[in-house]
Amino acid sequence: MENLSALLYLAAAVLFILSLKGLSSPVTALRGNLYGVLGMVIAVATTFMLMDKPVLLLIIAAIAAGGAIGAWKAKTVEMTGMPELVAAMHSLVGLSAVLIAVAAIFHTGVEHTPVQKVELFIGAFIGAITFTASVVAYGKLSGKFGAKAVNFSGQHLLNLVLALSMVGFGAAYFVSDSHAAFLMMLAIALVLGVTLIIPIGGADMPVVVSMLNSYSGWAAAGIGFTLNNPVLIIAGACVGSSGAILSYIMCKAMNRSIVSVLLGGFGAEAASGGSTASGPKNYKSGSADDAAFLMSNADSVIIVPGYGLAVSRAQHALQEFAQLLTEQGVTVRYAIHPVAGRMPGHMNVLLAEAEVPYEQVLEMEEINSDFSNTDVVLVIGANDVVNPAAQKDKQSPIYGMPILEAHKARTVIVVKRSMNAGYAGLDNELFYMDKTMMVFGDAKKVVEDLVKAVSH
C-alpha cells in the first residue's frame, strides 16, 4: 500500500507540473487545466485510501459544498471581478494553512519534533500573512477599501517591529511548546499581512496578486509538511516558485523591484487628468464614425486593450470589429502589456474568452518595434501602459517602466469615458498629441458603433 500510494502521489505531482506548463500558454491552457484536475482527483483519492477511520460524511460534505460554491462562482463571475476572486482564493489557502497549524498544535497526544515545530511556524505565519493580505487586496481590487496607498509616519518601523515580534513569539513556542506564544505569533502575522499591503497603491496590484499567489503556494507547502503529504509539498513549491518568478517578470516590466512594491505606495502624488500647473491642455476628439473611417482605410491596426475593456464587457464586440477589418484587408493585431488589467494575464484571458485568434495576440516585447510602422493604434480602456512619461519624464513615478510605444504610430485613437487619470492617478501626454483622437463614451457602445460604421 505504501509503495502504491507513493507512486500515485508521484503521478499526481507530475500532472501538477504538466498543468503549470500547460497554463503558460493560451493554446495549451485547457489541456493544462485538465492535467491539474486529473492530478487533484488522484491526490484526493490516494489520501482517502491512506486515511485511518476517516469521518467520510463530513469530508464529502465539505468537498461537495466547496465544489458547488466554486462551480457557481466560476459560472457567474464577471471578467471585471476575476482579480478580486483570485485574491479571495489566495486568502482561503492562507486560512487553511492557519487552521491546520492550529489543529496540529492543539492535537492532544502528539509531540512535535524540532523540525516539525519550525515547519509549523513557517507554514502558519506565511498562511496568516497570506490570508489578511489577500483580504485587503480583495478590498482594494473590488473598490471596497479604495485603491489608493495608505501611508503614515513610522510605517516601515512598525512592520519591522511586528516581524521581529512574530519571530520572537515563534522562538518562544519552539523552546517552550507554549500554545499562547504560538497564537500570539499568529495574531501578529495576521496584523502584519494588513500593514504590508495597505501602503501598496492600485497600480501595483497585479504584482501583489502574483506575490500572493506565491505566498499561497508556500503556505500550501507548509501544510504539506504538517500533514506529511508529499504531493502537497511538491504542488505548493511549484506554485510558490512560479508565482515568485512571475512577480519578478512583472516587476521588471514596471521597472520596479519587488521590495519597493511591498514597501511603498505608487503614484499617490500624481497630477489629475486633463490639466497641469500650466493650465488646461488641448486635445482633439472625434466620433466612432471618424475612428471607423481611419481604421477601415488603414493597412495595419494595433489594438491595445486595458481594464476599461473588461469593465464595459466590450471584448466580444471588439473581436467582431477586428474581424470586419480583417475581412477588408486590414492587418489587425493586439498588443498586451504584462501589467495591463488588475491581475497577471488579465487581458489574455479577456481576449481568449472572446475567441480572438492566438496568433493576433502579441506580448509587449514582440510588438513594440512595430508601432512606428503602424497606421493606426486603437487604445481601448488602457492608460498607464501607453503613457510616454515613462520614457520622457524623469519626475514621473512610472519613469523607466517599459510601455507599449503607441505614441510612435502614425495615428492614435483612444477610447475613454473621460479625461480622468488612469488607475495610477497619472495624466497621459499621449492624449494631447496632434496625432491622437479621443473618442469618449462607454467602450462597448463605442465599439458597437464602430461595427455599425464599418458594416455599412
DSSP 117-129: HHHHHHHHHHHHH
Q: List phi, psi (to 5°) of 113.
A: -75, 165
Domains of the chain from N-terminus onward: 77-263 (no CATH), 275-455 (3.40.50.1220)
Residue for grid cell 501607453 = 386
Q: Is residue 296 predicted with pLDDT exceeding 70? A: yes
Please give the angle made by the CA atoms of 263, 265 and 269, to the nearest 5 degrees.
150
Q: How confident is the model at residue 280 (pLDDT cuts 50, 70, 90)?
A: low
Q: How confident is the model at residue 265 (pLDDT cuts 50, 70, 90)?
A: very low
Q: How confident is the model at residue 3 (pLDDT cuts 50, 70, 90)?
A: confident
Q: What are 378-397's pLDDT values in tens digits?
A: 999 888 889 998 888 888 87
C-alpha cell at 379: 487604445
Catalytic residue among 384, 393, 434, 449: 384
Strand partners, 334: 303, 361
C-alpha cell at 29: 491552457
Q: What are 34-57's pLDDT values in tens digits?
A: 999 999 999 989 988 888 888 888
Q: Is residue 181 predicted with pLDDT exceeding 90? A: yes
Q: Is residue 338 predicted with pLDDT exceeding 70? A: yes
Rg for the chain, CA atoms, rounded: 25
Tell me the pTM: 0.76
**How much is the pLDDT for 275?**
40
Over residues 11-21, mean pLDDT: 92
What residue type is assigned to position 168 of the chain?
G
* CB burial of residue 66 (10 Å; 0-12, 13-18, 19+): exposed
Q: How confident is the model at residue 190 (pLDDT cuts 50, 70, 90)?
A: very high
384 is catalytic: yes
Q: What are 203-223's pLDDT values in tens digits?
A: 677 788 888 889 889 988 888
Q: List phi, psi (to 5°) of 155.
A: -60, -50
Decide if 236 contacts 119 (C-beta within 8 A). Answer: no
